[in-house]
Amino acid sequence: MFLAHGPVSFLANEIIQKKKIKKLKSNHHILIVLASFFFGILPDFDLFVLSKFNIPGFAHHEVISHTPIFYIIIWIVLKLLVNPFYNLLNSETRKSLTKEFLNILTNTFLICTLAHLFADFLVTRVMLFYPLTDTQSTLLFWILEPNLFAGYFLSPILAIELIFISIFAFVVYKMFFKETTLLNILSKSFIAVTVLILPLSTYILLNTYNRSYLYDKEGNIQVDVDYDTLKDSLDLDVGNIGENNIVQAKKEDILKSTYDIINSNKWAGRKDSESPSSKLKYKLGAHDSYRIVVQAYYNIGLPLNPVLRDYAIKKDGFKSYNYEYNYSKLLFEYLKENNILDVVEENESLELESGRIFFLMDEDEKIINMGITLEGNELAVVTEKDECLQSHSLKEIKEIYKTSLERILIQK
């Protein structure tokens, strides 16, 4: 969870300490609201601390500062300090910092930090039972795995966060602002829209191929399998063995991964399609031919795009974060430049090697389509008419592109 930690913590604190908070003066209540928001995001401050210990920020759910016991111990210490601290205050200060307020404030610390961890438990993973075990627990993490291409912004995770944020905004409005017809309509409409986004994003999730977590060979999630502080999704040499991910990949693994994608029968879509439906599906995370290739490599823990970005940087020498990569073209150029492409020689007994990237080329050497070869001359490729992921025979593909297909190249 990224956006809703503050709102979730505020709501939890207002519910749990409702009776005590009602007795506070308005200015004290505002301080508690601000404190609850701050304490709600406090556990994520370890992102800034970890860098001092050479621990990458993406590992912050694996350290003690993201465990309940850490904040329970701090809360106990704070509770023990309330009375000594209060006794040090002069009579004038005690009028503002009452003992009741200080106790509510310390309880707010515990409630809101634990609410943060509960929110993480809801959609990500945290070590809830540390130090008894360092196993990370979760509720919806596996169910709501985001799409690799649509990502967080089209996932139900964001929808859940938006619902919490809309409820938070409504409660704050009711507490501290004058009621007007316009604000009533806006606040309720915000809640209604966010509630509607959840089933919509869930529908997209159910119809797209969603695999964006990286796994090690034992099947466990591993963000940085070689512990080089570089996320594997950005690493061109996962494992640090001196070979890039394209070279490392074994055709048997690619073949198995590709079958998993194709057999899912999830949405297919094309960016260059003449069909508005196909274009929309593509934007929502549906797979085209290139995405099948990327996903196949990603599924075996060897992301393709970092290799191609590195190749593009070395090839073109550009210095820009906004460079628009044409990845399918880059992949073709990389394979061709490194002599990893063969022209398919047409004959009656043609048998394409499975688990290999292939390209369909026209007479101008432009890519018509691409994909991965399967067994029995079947191809994992998305054509203009495909609504869902499926395989096509080589004969069928030749028939579809008979007017433009000049030759076929296949990865060695």
Residue 348: pLDDT above 70? no
Q: What pLDDT shows up at residue 227?
A: 86
Residue 97 burial class via C-beta count within 10 angstroms: exposed 0-12, middle 13-18, buried 19 and up: middle
Burial 144-182 (b: 16+ CB within 10 A, else e): bebbbbbeeebbbbbbbbbbbbbbbbbbbbeeeeeeeee
Cα(342)–Cα(107) distance, integer angstroms:
68
Q: By percentage, how much of the chain surpasses pLDDT 70?
A: 99
The answer on pLDDT for 197 being more than 90 is yes
State the pLDDT at residue 212: 94
- Specify the higher pLDDT residue, 25 or 293: 293
Token reading at 51: 């860098």
Q: Hey, where are the domains in the chain?
A: 1-143, 148-207, 232-411
Q: Cα(311)–Cα(80) distance, rounded to whole angstroms? A: 59
From residue 222, give the alpha-carbon distance in Å to each of 43, 230, 389: 22, 12, 28
Pick from 410, 398, 357, 349: which is nearest to 380 by CA?
357
Helix (H) / strand (E) element for 407: namely: strand 407-411
Per mean pLDDT, which range of 10-19, 56-65, 182-191 is the poorest?
56-65
The pLDDT assigned to 16 comes to 97
Query: What residue ranges in 314-406 does DSSP mark as E strands?
Result: 341-343, 357-361, 367-373, 378-380, 391-393
The predicted-structure confidence for 298-318, as pLDDT tens digits, reads as follows: 999 999 999 999 999 888 877
Give the chain's end-to-end CA distance (angstroms, integer): 43
For the cut 80, the answer to whether the pLDDT of residue 321 exceeds it is no
Strands 407-411 and 341-343: antiparallel
Instruction: Inform me whether the pLDDT recorded for 120 exceeds 90.
Output: yes
144-177 per-position pLDDT tens digit = 999 999 988 899 999 999 999 999 999 999 998 9
Residue scoring higher pLDDT (58 or 41)? 41
Q: For 346-361, what is the mean pLDDT?
A: 89
**What is the rounded distance in angstroms from the CA atom of residue 154 to the CA atom of residue 142?**
16
Placement of tokens 């694996």 in the chain: 62
Report the distance separating Cα 118 and Cα 110, nearest Å.
12
Burial profile 42-62: b = 16 or more Cβ within 10 angstroms, e = fewer: bbbebeeebeeeebbeebbbb
Amino acid at 138: T
pLDDT value of residue 84: 94
* Amino acid 331: pLDDT: 95
Question: For 1-18, what is the mean pLDDT?
Answer: 93
Rounded mean pLDDT, 327-344? 93
Average confidence score pLDDT of the chain: 92
What's the pLDDT score for residue 378?
Answer: 96
- Report pLDDT digits (tens) over 66-93: 999 999 999 999 999 999 999 999 988 9
- Give yes or no for a contact between 373 and 390, defined as CB atoms under 8 angstroms apart: no
Answer yes or no: is pLDDT of 384 > 90. yes
For 193, other C-beta atoms within 10 Å of its C-beta total 12
User: What are the b/e assignments for 313-345, b being 16+ CB within 10 Å?
Assistant: eeeeeeeeeeeeeebbebbbebbeeeebbeebe
pLDDT: is 375 or 51 the higher one? 375
pLDDT tens per residue, range 204-261: 999 999 999 998 777 788 888 888 889 999 999 999 999 999 999 999 999 999 999 9
pTM score, whole prediction: 0.90
Q: Which CATH class is domain 232-411?
A: alpha beta
